[in-house]
Structure 1
């Protein structure tokens, strides 16, 4: 059995990318430990707490305060953020047994792109004679840890989470039960509560930026974020051999 931590990237005009960080269940704790080792270094060198959510766009572009003090945050420039991202993914790359697999498609409708992604993961699982459980970045119906919602607000959070996940659950339920390799419905995981979804987010953004750099004709020009690409390249040994820098383009 393998676990796939999934996040998306892309843009609203040209397409969507979806990336899976795939690890066998028996190596799950080692993968998390490698990521947390990077988080500990991030804290000691830059003052970014281990429990502070890392969201790739905000992290790379400096749109949110992430350090413990204002002084640390002021010195945590875009250059340092790029170094920090390389540190994180280099730490993750020290673990051998995991795979990073991405698809890119011109279809901007995320549920449609997700269906194609699940089909690709089904193929991967069949080729590797395994089964996959998918965890996807999304609402879980949980409140922000710093808030105290009312029962009515909690009910609304849960209702919204269930409704938003419906198109993705449907993709799983449309799979042929007798042959499917993706088990269970999709498990939505809010990135603020999941370190490995945060890792998948950082990787997904890098995969999108690398594909955009290599294929400006598909993405409307090469305005790729170089720091994200440099971090993503640390994981090259974990890409499928027949992929385009870890990405499969699906028309």
Structure 2
């Protein structure tokens, strides 16, 4: 059984990518411990908050606030942000037995690409004679504020979470229950509270920019984020290496 943590990247014009961190259940705790050691390292070196969300787009573009003190934040420049990405993906790279895969497509509608992605996961799991449980970045209906929500707030949060997840649940429920390898509905996990969704976000951002670097015919001639690519390259021993992949990335033509 594998746990599959998924996040997306791409652009609204040319396409979308979905990246997955796929870890066997027996490797889960070791991988998480190594990731948390990476968090301790960036806290010690740069003052990055231990519970601060590591959002790749903000990290690499010099936005957002990551450090616990104003002094540390002022020192948290481009070089320190790039090092943070490398340290965190290095923390994953040290642990054997898991894989990273990215599915890329000109499809800009995420639910449609997600259905293609789930179909790809089905084929992968069948080839491995295994099963998968998928966690995807999205609203959980959890309360992030102070105190307890009242009944109206709680109802609105849950209704919003259920509604937003509906297209992704449908991709699972359209599978043949007698033969399916992707079990249960998708589990939506808010990236603010999930370490491995944040890891998937760093992977997704780096994979997208690597593919953009290699395939300007698809993505255009825009600037790539070299620091994100360098961090992503640290995972090369964990990339999915099927015949349909290059640098851990599978391109699905429209």
What range describes the TM-score normalised by the shorter chain of this pair?
over 0.9
Please name the residue that 2:168 is paired with: 168
Please name the residue that 1:94 is paired with: 94
Please name the residue that 2:119 is paired with: 119
Please name the residue that 1:250 is paired with: 252
Q: Where does structure 1 differ by over 4 angstroms across 4 or more consecutive aligned residues?
A: 145-148
Return the alpha-carbon distance in structure 1 between the equivalents of residues 144 and 12 of structure 2: 27
Return the alpha-carbon distance in structure 2 between the equivalents of residues 223 and 41 of structure 1: 30
Please name the residue that 1:27 is paired with: 27
How far does the alpha carbon of each residue in 1:39-95 deviate from its partner, in whole angstroms, 9 at most, with x for none?
Answer: 000100000121111111011112111101011011101221001110110111000
Return the alpha-carbon distance in structure 1 between the equivalents of residues 30 and 238 of structure 2: 15
5+ residue gaps, structure 1, are none
5+ residue gaps, structure 2, are none
Return the alpha-carbon distance in structure 2 between the equivalents of residues 156 and 71 of structure 1: 39
Provide the aligned length of Structure 1 versus Structure 2: 251
Return the alpha-carbon distance in structure 1 between the equivalents of residues 154 and 52 of structure 2: 23
Please name the residue that 1:223 is paired with: 223
1:15-94 superposed matches below 5 A: 15-94=15-94
1:151-162 superposed matches below 5 A: 151-162=151-162
Return the alpha-carbon distance in structure 2 between the equivalents of residues 196 and 85 of structure 1: 14
TM-score by length of 1: 0.98
The DSSP-based 3-state class of the residue aligned with 1:180 is coil
The DSSP-based 3-state class of the residue aligned with 1:65 is coil
TM-score by length of 2: 0.96
> Is 1:238 aligned with 2:238?
yes
Return the alpha-carbon distance in structure 2 between the equivalents of residues 73 and 127 of structure 1: 47
